[in-house]
Amino acid sequence: MSITDPVVTRVTAGRRGGAPVLAYRDERYTDEVARATQPVWEKIHGLISDVDWLLKAPLVHEINRLKKERRALILAHNYQTPDIYYGVADYVGDSLELARRAAALGPDEAPIVVMCGVHFMAETVKVLAPDRTVLIPDKEAGCSLAESITGADVRLLKERYPGAPVVSYVNTSAEVKAESDYCCTSSNAARIVEEAARSFSSERVIFLPDHYLAANVAQQTKIKIIAWHGTCIVHERFTPEHIRTLRAQFPGVRVLAHPEAPPEVCAEADFVGSTSKMIADVQSAHAAKVLMVTECAMADNVAAENPGVDFVRPCVLCPYMQKITLPRILDSLRTLSPRVEVPAALIPRARRAIERMLAVSQPPPLKSLRA
């Protein structure tokens, strides 16, 4: 589906098919499974077909059973599909919120952490909680931004621009974070750039790797931004023409854009913010129709919480986030693999950049789905 062919979804008593069918496992849909997973089904029944749920519910039940047995904690990014987001995650959020949850782990809490997200997120957990076993259900769940730059690239930038602090977007490897002075997320990038410039008494900041996020931040500060050339393979696909076309098709739609989108796309939006800030806007603006210019699986999760809102979805999926599935989560818990490791020498340096970010950022509420 192209991003000019929108799908409008609304959670009602009806059913919407089309979700990918998972491979059948030895888990079966029993009365016990039905009872245990009923609250999840009530939340997402308008987003997953009955047939799909008969296959997914046993997996949800077994993951939750095994998670309790292993004393594991499951963190899920806002881009995860509803069966994961509502079915098995203990905490959900954007990159900043998940990093803060990892940093808040108590000494006797969750010896195992499963990251339902992409590899750099799992690395961030390992950096902040190096004594934990950190699992990622699919080791190929990468990120186009993280893969666009290396630690060697950062060292060359620092040589070229001496004295300029390095602010790395959280969508980077631990190696890159270790070469950075600060980390940031899309929710706090401008604030971190200002703090880095102030702290280093510099009029310029090296910002990497997202070129579009750098351009959007540059509009919010007088600090000179030295940008890298990375882009997100999801957000780079949106254009102003797409937004204008969808506004014409759906009069009155409220457009929410992620700052990884090109500045000219963000200029067409009614609101620009991180995934969690977009969720908050849906809840506060009370718009009848909403278009979220970001990964389209997120609209399903927001729709489940806001049944009175019509979501116009220009369907662009992140192929990396889609690698995380219920069968892979279950396999990961059963085998305690794939494990995420970060070289010991990198951890203190990467942690410094992350902790500087956390110290500057106002603590957001942690959203627990197992309260």
Question: pLDDT tens for residues 106-123?
Answer: 888 999 999 999 999 999
Residues 20 and 136 in one domain: yes
Residues 48 and 178 in one domain: no
Residues 263 and 298 in one domain: yes
Q: Give the pLDDT of residue 285.
A: 95
Domain membership flag for residue 370: no
Q: Is the pLDDT of residue 16 over 50?
A: no
Residues 304 and 274 in one domain: yes
- Residue 253 belongs to a domain with what CATH number? 3.40.50.10800
Q: Structural domain of residue 191, as residue ranges?
A: 146-231+346-360
- pLDDT digits 0-9 by tens, 189-244: 999 999 999 999 999 999 999 999 999 999 999 999 999 999 999 999 999 999 99
Residues 137 and 250 in one domain: no
- pLDDT digits 0-9 by tens, 125-163: 999 999 999 999 999 999 999 999 999 999 999 999 999
Is pTM beyond 0.75? Reply is yes
Q: Is the pLDDT of residue 40 over 50?
A: yes
The CB density around residue 237, as the number of other CB atoms within 10 Å, is: 16
Q: For residue 37, what is the enclosing H or E element?
A: helix 31-44
Q: How many structural domains does the chain have?
A: 3
Residues 102 and 247 in one domain: no
Domain membership flag for residue 369: no
- pLDDT digits 0-9 by tens, 262-288: 999 999 999 999 998 999 999 999 999
| Residue with more model confidence, 246 or 369 | 246
**E-only strand ranges, the chain:** 7-9, 72-77, 91-93, 112-116, 133-135, 166-169, 182-184, 204-208, 224-227, 254-257, 271-272, 289-293, 310-313, 367-368
Rg (CA), the chain: 20
Residues 159 and 82 in one domain: no
DSSP code for 22: P
Which residues, including other chains, have CB under 8 Å from residue 338's CB and lie 6 or more apart?
135, 136, 137, 138, 139, 332
